[in-house]
Amino acid sequence: MFDSEFDLIARYFSHLGASRSDVLLGVGDDCALLRPPPGMDLALSTDTLVAGCHFFADVDPEALGHKCLAVNLSDLAAMGATPAWASLALSLPAVDHAWLQGFAAGFGRLAEQAGIALVGGDTTRGPLSISIQVQGLLPAGQGLRRSGAQAEDLICVSGRLGDAALALHQLQQGLEPEPALRARLERPSPRLQLGQRLLGLAHACIDISDGLLADLGHICRASGLAAELQLEALPCAPELLASGDWSLPLSGGDDYELCFTLPAEQAAQLPQLAAELGLPLSPIGRILAGEGVACRLADGRLYQPKQRGFDHFHD
Amino acid sequence: MFDSEFDLIARYFSHLGASRSDVLLGVGDDCALLRPPPGMDLALSTDTLVAGCHFFADVDPEALGHKCLAVNLSDLAAMGATPAWASLALSLPAVDHAWLQGFAAGFGRLAEQAGIALVGGDTTRGPLSISIQVQGLLPAGQGLRRSGAQAEDLICVSGRLGDAALALHQLQQGLEPEPALRARLERPSPRLQLGQRLLGLAHACIDISDGLLADLGHICRASGLAAELQLEALPCAPELLASGDWSLPLSGGDDYELCFTLPAEQAAQLPQLAAELGLPLSPIGRILAGEGVACRLADGRLYQPKQRGFDHFHD
């Protein structure tokens, strides 16, 4: 029975993440039993990462364990939710204890930091694929949505855009990215604190997983409005700024920063919030009447983007 | 954009299942927003089905949509929970609209019957694999667990055991199973009503997915007790009873019936409950002090089982 499915789950995944008093029963029965606190809504998200599509099959398993939880936590951050519970469905071609140990370590470390408990797991034999579902808590009725943007809102982003895509580009060229840049691709930091601070402040919020243009486009469509970006205001690496090629910050994807819209009168709060969080927060444009996302250069000309984000069915 | 990931999800998976007032925001934002009713616990389970491991890649997509939700609902049934919300992570090698339509129809029909709403989805390109996470509601503190069995409890099962394994065996031999038998393999019925009726009545409960011996073994281990089965009491197809080979009802798996333990003084309620549910409920043995599951024949001899259930890493 050493390598059986049951032992696998028990050995690596039964006690990962935070210990929480609202988990009445964790991994190991037909279901986990959870007690949601009164007066709170749940935010729920699910994301799958498939080897060869979302990551290289030989990626460091510890980084992979971190990243596949991080991309899910990033969705909670975008709603302003506080992480609570996660479940993990893992398909593996074979049992590899060193790999499982690394994966569980990466997953577990981030889960503990984020205060989320792993409460459900399923391990099956199959092509390497990881599907995670996370749930977070929100004061009732407070969740940040894509649909709340209003005309004249300021569009803001956290952190830097295009770093992950630049690191991936360098790896694909056979180059070794700087460690800090590589970490932006392999160990993204979900902006959980920022999301929670935006509750009651931002009108709309989304996380940037598919690229700024695609994700800001979701806010515009859901809100029935348009956006205009000032390209030179985009926070990105000096080599990207210098190149004049905006494709990576606009469409590279995998950034896991937050893009949010603020009523203009709240703009003055940005520097203080950025300082408290130790995270750059940059105003990059405005919400307008109309539809679509326009990109304007400093000289006033419109810029025509080359790609429009990442689509899993259009490689 | 016709075949893009976003359109795929929107077209097939945005409005599946029951419409529920506790779903504040369904598929289409970073997270779904849900409002758990006060005084209820959540039961949460996740199960993955991988092509070539859990099903034939060419199986009828409508049956597959039904089955992959059914196996998850069966875990809710085992806790006595009432289904509420589901999320779906689907990996597909290519976009096939006829397949997606069939899959969504099978999933959606069962979801509506069960009163569960699909609130989250992720569609990725990859080898065919389906990962579903379900949540149900339970009166606080009432969830049925594996660990509650007590010595002298009566062991009971619903429905018939071994049907799914018999149908699979016939298909593997190139035979066409009777439609009713084939449906037991491809369209199992999660025993949700039974689970809910067992709240406050049964001491322990589990669903039979890996075979009776393996799953009753989980109850015994979790409860620190042993079990003795009367083989001739097992409810199974006449051809299995006649064969004297107990491997399919004991270890075939894929039955999705419930195995539960009842205080002996409640045994008299079984026939009435079975009649109300229109579902056979059979007493098949007793919980005893000790450990392990023993199988006794009518003449008093012990029977030595050949296999001990289904393990995804031991094909």
Give pLDDT tens digits for A154-209.
999 999 999 999 999 999 999 999 999 999 999 999 999 999 999 999 999 999 99
Percent of chain A, pLDDT > 70?
Answer: 94
The pLDDT value given to residue B314:
43
Q: Compute the distance between CA of residue B136 and CA of residue B43 in angstroms, rounded to an integer.
A: 5
Closest CB from B32, B42, B78 relative to A36: B42
What is the distance between the terminal CA atoms of chain A, rounded to a whole angstrom?
A: 41
Q: Is beta strand B226-230 parallel, antiparallel or unpaired with respect to B292-296?
A: parallel
The secondary element (H helix, E strand) that includes residue A166 is helix A163-172
Give the pLDDT confidence score for residue A2 in this predicted structure. Answer: 38
In sequence order, what are the residues at sequence separation of 6 or more whose Cβ sits closer than 8 angstroms to the Cβ of residue A212?
A: A157, A161, A229, A234, A249, A250, A251, A255, A259
Judged by CB atoms within 8 Å, which residues 82-121 of A form the interface with B?
A: 85, 87-89, 91, 95, 119-121
Amino acid code (one letter) for B109? R
With tokens 């019925």, the residue in question is B189
pLDDT digits (tens, 9 = 90+) for B57-112: 788 999 999 999 999 999 999 999 999 999 999 988 888 889 999 999 999 999 99
How is chain A split into domains, by residue range?
Answer: 5-139, 146-303
CB spacing of B50 vs A126 below 8 angstroms? yes
pLDDT band at residue A17 using 50, 70 and 90 as cut-offs:
confident
A57 to chain B, any CB pair closer than 8 A? The answer is no
Using a CB–CB cutoff of 8 Å, tell me whether B145 touches chain A: yes
pLDDT, tens only, A79-137: 999 999 999 999 888 888 899 999 999 999 999 999 999 998 888 888 889 999 999 99
Q: Which of A256, A154, A136 is nearest to A201 (CA)?
A: A154
Task: Note the pLDDT tens digit of each residue in B213-227.
Answer: 999 999 999 999 999
**Phi then psi for A123, rounded to 5 degrees?**
-120, 125
What confidence score (pLDDT) does residue A101 get?
A: 93
Parallel/antiparallel/unpaired status of strands A258-262 and A154-158: antiparallel
Interface touch A31/B311, C-beta < 8 Å: no
CATH fold of A5-139 reads 60s Ribosomal Protein L30; Chain: A; (3.30.1330)
- Residues A29, B147: C-beta atoms closer than 8 Å: yes
Per the listing, tokens 């339970």 go with B138
Find the range with the poorest average confidence among A133-147, A300-314, B55-69, B225-239. A300-314
pLDDT at B315 (0 to 100): 38
Contacts of B45 in chain A (CB under 8 A): 30-32, 120
Q: What is the ipTM of this complex?
A: 0.90
User: Which CATH topology does B146-303 take?
Assistant: Phosphoribosyl-aminoimidazole Synthetase; Chain A, domain 2 (3.90.650)
Q: Which band of pLDDT confidence, cut at 50, 70 and 90, is reported for residue B178?
A: very high
What average pLDDT does the structure give for chain B?
Answer: 90
Name every chain A residue with its beta carbon within 8 A of the beta carbon of B124: 48-50, 53-54, 312
- pLDDT tens sequence across A238-255: 988 888 789 999 998 899
Q: Which residues of B touch A126 (CB under 8 A)?
A: 48, 50-53, 127, 129
Beta strands in B27-178 (DSSP E): 32-34, 40-50, 82-92, 117-125, 129-139, 154-158
- Name the strands in the sheet holding A23-25, side by side, starting at the edge strand that comes first in the sequence: A23-25, A32-34, B40-50, B129-139, B82-92, B117-125
Size of interface A-B (CB pairs under 8 A): 218
Which residues of chain A lie closer than 8 angstroms to B3, CB-CB? 313-314
Indicate yes or no: CB of A42 within 8 angstroms of CB of B36. yes
The chain-wide mean pLDDT, for chain A, equals 90
pTM score:
0.90
Comparing CB atoms, the residue among A53, A131, A133 nearest residue B125 is: A53
The 10s digit of each residue's pLDDT in B14-37 is 778 889 999 998 887 889 999 999
Per-residue confidence (pLDDT) for residue A30, from 0 to 100: 84
Give contacts of A 2-31 with B, CB under 8 A: 3-6, 8, 24-25, 28-31
Alpha carbons B85 and A135: distance in angstroms, whole number: 12
Distance from CA of A298 to the nearest CA of B (A): 31
For residue A242, give every residue at least 6 positions away whose Cβ sits within 8 Å of its Cβ, in sequence order, or none.
none
The mean per-residue pLDDT over the stretch A42-56 comes to 86
